[in-house]
Amino acid sequence: MSDLTLSIALERYDRHFPFFDGTVKPPPGLQLKVLQVGQTADLRDGNNRHERMIHDSAFDICEFSMSTYLMAKNRGVPLTAVPVFPRRLFSASQMFVHRDSPLWEPKDLIGKKVGISSFQTTLSLLAKGDLKFEYGVPWEKIHWFTTTGEKVKFTPKPGVQITTLPADTDLGAELAKGTIDAFFLPHPPHSVMSGHVPARRLFKDTRAEELRYFRKTGYFPIMHVLAFREDLNERHPWLADALMACYGQAKEISASYYEDPNFSRLLWGRHDFEDERATLAADPWPIGFKANRGNLVRFIEYSHDQGLISEAYPPERLFAAQSLSS
């Protein structure tokens, strides 16, 4: 009997290198066709991984937007997942204002204009939720400007201000012009990251704020989940455990890279690796349902509050049953 060969669409993060170079060894009976596919929504470059998965089932397995996945499960889309989370971000690091802005903390954003990718993008979901539930700033009192189409249709809550800008809008340029007062993006524009547009993060000491957040909540917020077709789970109930085992391998292998002090082009990469371990005193990248349940409950609460899902359903609904004991 031949092996089951499945396509898996991933971004080329350091934690995914073991998939691309073949050092991850799937269990007997499984072969993975590893594809490097980005998440941009530009249909011309073919890297619209999330859209291709939800609308065209373009891949068997896919690194997928957590927010879109929450919405998909609420609407009965035939996808399931394992509690593996390939991408995580703190919202505080992704909140940018102009270098000369008088805004220095979340409450300063009330009544202001803030640019985001789409309303349902996971970073947008997290940032709006954190504003309201972590900082006491109602996201409903902010005027939102979006540049990307919504992957899953939804009806905004009454009174919410959302203005759609052209898809090619550079939010860095709009910040410089004063069209918006701030932006929250998972991938800040090149105009800002290159220094062409003078911008800074909202918080004066972002790292200290993120450490406070981590110690309070106990987690590094999830951005992406590993999703796969529901029919595959039905036909191959062993697949969920196999995928989690592959990610467990990749996690150990990628951590070992930093044993070489010169693995990273960052001069103090090894020092930062050691400092992170000592400072956090916990694994910021846990695999498994139990270790991530609190983070998932909060995300579902955020999604329901923002009108993206119709009910705050239990997080157990998100994953293949076999993986819930992990």
The mean pLDDT of 136-162, rounded to a whole number, is: 95
> What is the token pair recorded at 109?
């954003």
User: Average pLDDT, stretch 51-71?
Assistant: 93
Q: Are 213 and 127 in contact (CB under 8 A)?
A: no
What's the rounded Cα separation, in Å, for the pair 84 and 70? 15
pLDDT tens, residue by residue, 281-309 = 889 999 999 999 999 999 999 999 999 99
Give the HSE-up count for residue 98: Cα atoms under 13 Å, Cβ half-sphere: 13
Q: Which of 152, 80, 94 is nearest to 128 (CA)?
A: 94
Q: Quote the percentage of the chain above a pLDDT of 90.
A: 91
- pLDDT of res. 57: 85
CA distance 78 to 55: 11
Mean pLDDT of the chain: 94
Sequence ranges of the domains in the chain: 4-88+222-323, 92-217
User: Quick one: fold of 92-217?
Assistant: D-Maltodextrin-Binding Protein; domain 2 (3.40.190)
Q: Rounded to an integer, what distance in angstroms lies between the CA atom of residue 157 and that of residue 152?
A: 15
d(CA 296, CA 239): 22
Percent of the chain at pLDDT exceeding 70: 97
HEC per residue, 42-73: CCCCCCCHHHHHHHHCCCCEEEEEHHHHHHHH
Q: Print burial letters for 17-35: b (CB count within 10 Å at least 16), e (below 16).
A: ebbeeeebebeeebebebb
Q: Which CATH class is domain 4-88+222-323?
A: alpha beta
pLDDT in tens, 14-40: 999 999 999 999 999 999 999 999 876
Answer whether residue 42 shows pLDDT above 50.
no
Position 40 scores a pLDDT of: 60
List pLDDT tens digits, range 165-182: 999 899 999 999 999 999
pLDDT band (50, 70, 90) for residue 50? confident
**4-88+222-323 and 92-217 share one fold:** yes
> Of 231, 187, 175, 201, which Cα lies nearest the Cα of 4?
231
Which of 50, 105, 41 lies closest to 77 in space, CA to CA? 50
Give the pLDDT confidence score for residue 55 in this predicted structure.
Answer: 85
Distance separating the N- and C-terminal Cα atoms of the chain: 30
